[in-house]
Amino acid sequence: KGQGVMGAALATLSTQFIACMFGYGVLFRGKHGVALRLADFKPDFAHIKRAFLIGFPASIEQSMRALGIMLLTFLIASFGTITVAIYGAASNILQVVLILGIGFSMAISTVVGQNIGAGNINRASRVAVIGARMSFSTLSVLGLLVWLTAPVLVAFFVPEDPAIIAGGAHFL
């Protein structure tokens, strides 16, 4: 008789520990292009403060987003299991679309920021306009495809439940 889940957990933990120790050995020996020293791990509080100040607004935004999702899920759960299933299937589909939109946003803001930093304000403006048009066009086509194929997409998650498929298609 095996050890079950506990055995799998111990095997995972021990192999990850061994791999980690091997990786540290390679890094600290410095024979493969990277050489670390313990002195390299000394904290630079000026950089830590700057990173904190830059990242703090984004962390608040992500925390509020997580809190909002948690509250929304709590409210949806009060309507019953079918509603939770509809929301789960449809929101998974929407996440694919949102990821593409977030990718556009990150790419455009990076290129705009680089151009502003280089003093190319006109180019930054052109990149923003072209990026917005590309994003709008792509996401509009994708949104239309999701709308037209909503029942098929929802059925991918819950193939045997017509009520959830209909509700998810209506949601989308």
Distances (CA, A) of 147 to 61, 87, 153: 29, 15, 10
Q: Is the pLDDT of residue 158 over 90?
A: no
Q: What is the pTM of this model?
A: 0.59
The DSSP line for 95-135 is: HHHHHHHHHHHHHHHHHHHHHHHTT-HHHHHHHHHHHHHHH
- Whole-number pLDDT of residue 100: 92
171 and 89 in a common domain: yes
107 and 34 in a common domain: no
Q: Distance between CA 129 and CA 135 in Å, rounded?
A: 10
64 and 37 in a common domain: no
47 and 37 in a common domain: no
Q: Distance between CA 147 and CA 93 in Å, rounded?
A: 11
49 and 19 in a common domain: no
102 and 139 in a common domain: yes
37 and 47 in a common domain: no
27 and 52 in a common domain: no
End-to-end CA distance of the chain: 49
**Token digits of residue 125:** 């403006």
pLDDT tens readout for residues 95-104: 989 999 999 9
Task: Write phi, then psi, for 2 (nearest 5 degrees).
Answer: -85, -175
Total domains in the fold of the chain? 3
129 and 86 in a common domain: yes
pLDDT tens readout for residues 107-148: 999 999 999 999 999 999 999 999 999 999 999 999 999 999
90 and 166 in a common domain: yes
- Whole-number pLDDT of residue 27: 85
84 and 64 in a common domain: no
Domain extent for 12: 1-41
Question: Looking at residues 5-14, what average pLDDT do you find?
Answer: 90
- Whole-number pLDDT of residue 70: 92
User: 1: pLDDT confidence band, cut at 50, 70 and 90?
Assistant: low
Cβ atoms of 124 and 116 closer than 8 Å: yes
Q: Distance between CA 63 and CA 66 in Å, rounded?
A: 5
